[in-house]
């Protein structure tokens, strides 16, 4: 086995008295597409927020290219090439589509030595990003609060996939999308995979992962229940694992 791009070891996390994660481990190679599935409140979003630096684990370690990296802050994770599409999109409602997309890595130009936002360049680039994705939004100069749920999701997807990332995490990327847009997202994932980017998808829509994924990881109540290769499982098998929280192939989960 080669050194994985990402490895999470024994991650635990509690919120007050709620144990959201207990000793969860995960590994993913470059170009791999992992589907993270599980019932509501299984801890999927929490695990991914830790990987993206938005939350800090209580214990456990994260390795990138085999080297330990504790992401104290989203800045560090972004610098390491990790992008995340949050379940609630994490968009600033008052800012425009373009501003949201480029937030934190604006294009600037110098006027008389002063760095100035290059707004037209960013608008053009944003339009190109949507064109490349095949996703649709109205004018990129609209504030995102004027967009419908699905349009906001498209903005979040464009932001996460439009820059050079090594790992893209997608938390329910298709929950608010219509059929054509879902098709586009699947194409995007395939494209990312081809260019060597690793992808983690959280989705209740198993069919999305069957379509483009390599591997499933099933969680329940903050613990890893089991793993499956996509070619080695079927819907019923996975649903059983999600519901019962036990892997029928192994008597006990040992991580």
Partner 1 sequence: MFPSRFQNNGACMSDVNSTIRRKAKNPAFDMRMAAVFLVRYGMFIALALWMVAMALSSEHFLTSTNILNVARQAAPIIIIGVGMTFVMATAGIDLSVGSLVALISVLTAAWLVAGLPAYLVIGLVIVVGAMLGALNGFIITLGVPAFVVTLAALTSFRGVGFVYSDGRAVPISDPVFVFIGRGDIFGVNTPLIIATVVAVVGWFVLNRTRFGLYVLATGGREEAARVMGLAITRIKITVYAITGGLAALGGIVISARLSNGSPNAGMMLELDVIAATVLGGTSLFGGRATIAGTVVGALLINFVRNGLNLHGVNPYWVQVVTGIILVMAVLMNTVLNRKAEAWARANPDDEQEVSK
Ligand X SMILES: Nc1ncnc2c1ncn2[C@@H]1O[C@H](COP(=O)(O)OP(=O)(O)OP(=O)(O)O)[C@@H](O)[C@H]1O
Which residues sit at the interface with a second copy, rule CB under 8 A? 15-16, 18, 38-42, 45, 87-88, 136, 138, 146-151, 153-154, 172, 175-182, 204-206, 239, 242-243
| DSSP-based three-state secondary structure for 141 | coil
Sheet arrangement for strand 67-68: 18-28, 6-15, 59-64, 67-68
Rg, C-alpha atoms of the chain:
19
Tell me how crowded residue 241 is: count the other CB atoms within 10 A of its CB: 24
9 φ, ψ (degrees, to nearest 5)? -125, 120
Give the residue closest to ligand X by C-beta: 150
Listed ranges 62-70, 75-83, 149-157, 177-185: which one lies at the site for Mg ion (CB under 5 A): 149-157
DSSP state of 3: P
Question: CB of 117 within 8 A of CB of 106?
Answer: yes
Mask of contacts with Mg ion, 58-97, x by CB under 5 A? -----------------------------x----------
Q: Under a CB-based contact definition with an 8 Å cutoff, are residues 178 and 197 in contact? A: no
CB of 95 to partner 1, least distance (A): 6
C-alpha to C-alpha distance for 45 and 239, rounded to whole angstroms = 19
Binding site partner of 38, from a second copy, Mg ion, partner 1, none, Cβ cut-off 5-8 A by kind: a second copy
Per rule CB under 5 A, is residue 45 in the interface with Mg ion?
yes
Residue 75 in tokens:
């800045």
Binding residues for partner 1, rule: CB under 8 A, are: 12, 14-20, 22-23, 39-41, 49, 52-54, 58-59, 73-75, 77-78, 84, 86, 89-95, 99, 103-104, 106, 108, 114-117, 127, 130-131, 136, 138-140, 142, 146-147, 151, 221-222
């Amino acid at each position: 086995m080669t050194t994985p791009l990402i490895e999470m070891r024994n991650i635990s996390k509690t919120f007050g008295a709620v144990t959201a994660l207990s000793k969860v481990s995960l590994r993913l190679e470059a170009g791999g597409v992992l589907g993270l599935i599980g019932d509501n409140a299984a801890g999927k979003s929490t695990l991914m927020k830790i990987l993206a630096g938005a939350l800090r684990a209580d214990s456990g370690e994260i390795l990138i290219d085999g080297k330990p990296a504790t992401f104290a802050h989203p800045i560090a994770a972004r610098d390491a090439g990790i992008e995340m599409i949050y379940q609630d999109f994490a968009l600033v409602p008052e800012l425009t589509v373009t501003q949201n997309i480029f937030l934190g890595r604006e294009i600037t130009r110098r006027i008389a030595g002063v760095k100035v936002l290059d707004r037209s360049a960013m608008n053009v680039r944003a339009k190109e990003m949507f064109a490349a994705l095949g996703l649709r939004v109205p004018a990129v100069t609209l504030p995102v609060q004027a967009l419908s749920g699905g349009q906001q999701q498209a903005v979040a997807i464009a932001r996460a996939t439009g820059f050079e990332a090594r790992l893209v995490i997608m938390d329910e990327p298709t929950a608010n999308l219509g059929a054509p847009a879902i098709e586009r997202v699947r194409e995007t994932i395939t494209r990312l995979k081809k260019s060597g980017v690793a992808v983690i998808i959280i989705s209740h829509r198993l069919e999305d992962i069957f379509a483009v994924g390599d591997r499933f990881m099933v969680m329940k109540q903050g613990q890893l229940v089991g793993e499956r290769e996509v070619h080695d499982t079927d819907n019923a098998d996975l649903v059983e694992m999600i519901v019962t929280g036990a892997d029928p192939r192994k008597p006990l989960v040992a991580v």
